[in-house]
Amino acid sequence: MSHIIGITGGIASGKSTVVKMIREAGYQVIDADKLVHDLQKKGGRLYQALIAHFGSSILDERGELDRPKLARIIFANSENLALSSQLQDSIIREELAKARDSLEEREQVFFMDIPLLIEGGYVDWFDSIWLVYVDETTQLARLKKRNHYTDEEAHKRLESQMSLAKKKAYADVVINNNGSEKALKKQVDILLAQLALDKSC
């Protein structure tokens, strides 16, 4: 039976960096964001669902989803955010379950990178949950620098998600990313070494 680890975090928490380190160590990681991106491509299941609800104004001149425009519409108010989530959740869950079941057939240990793991109700899918954590001040500063957001835009994005402080209650492992990438890698290396040891016993 496979050991499945869920990885989560928040926007600008450094989760993608941790996932990269895990992949480099040789582990398979199902990337929920990539899966969603593929489903949102022209003709995909999410593409069709989003157009049916929001209309063709969310498309660019090539007929692909205009992601920045879609994001602005979704984050414009809580009603749009809730409707978008409702539209997409069942399709995403179904496709993630397919990917999980496929890997379970051939991997002893693997990871699933799901940003909204807790909010989306995926907690019981996993043998353990790893949370990539930063304090809110660091998170805001990194988000503003990375996405060139104003204070207001950055705060709005954080307010649309469960705080990392609240997510700690669901985590079996908290990876602290308030420091340098070197310090982050050291934590990940220790966790992966312990994981390999546990699975070899």
Strand pairing partners for 175?
132
What is d(CA 160, CA 149) in angstroms, rounded to the nearest whole number?
A: 15
Token output for 103: 């890997």
What is d(CA 48, CA 19) in angstroms, rounded to the nearest whole number?
A: 30
Burial of residue 139 (CB within 10 Å: 0-12, 13-18, 19+) is buried
What is d(CA 135, CA 140) in angstroms, rounded to the nearest whole number?
A: 9
| Parallel/antiparallel/unpaired status of strands 29-31 and 109-113 | parallel
Query: 42 labelled as ligand-binding?
Result: no
Query: 63 labelled as ligand-binding?
Result: no
Query: 15 labelled as ligand-binding?
Result: yes
What is d(CA 145, CA 18) in angstroms, rounded to the nearest whole number?
A: 19
Query: 12 labelled as ligand-binding?
Result: yes
What is d(CA 142, CA 57) in angstroms, rounded to the nearest whole number?
A: 31
Query: 169 labelled as ligand-binding?
Result: no
E-only strand ranges, the chain:
3-8, 29-31, 109-113, 128-133, 173-176
Query: 6 labelled as ligand-binding?
Result: no
Residues that constitute the known binding site for ATP: 12-17
The annotated binding site is made up of 12-17
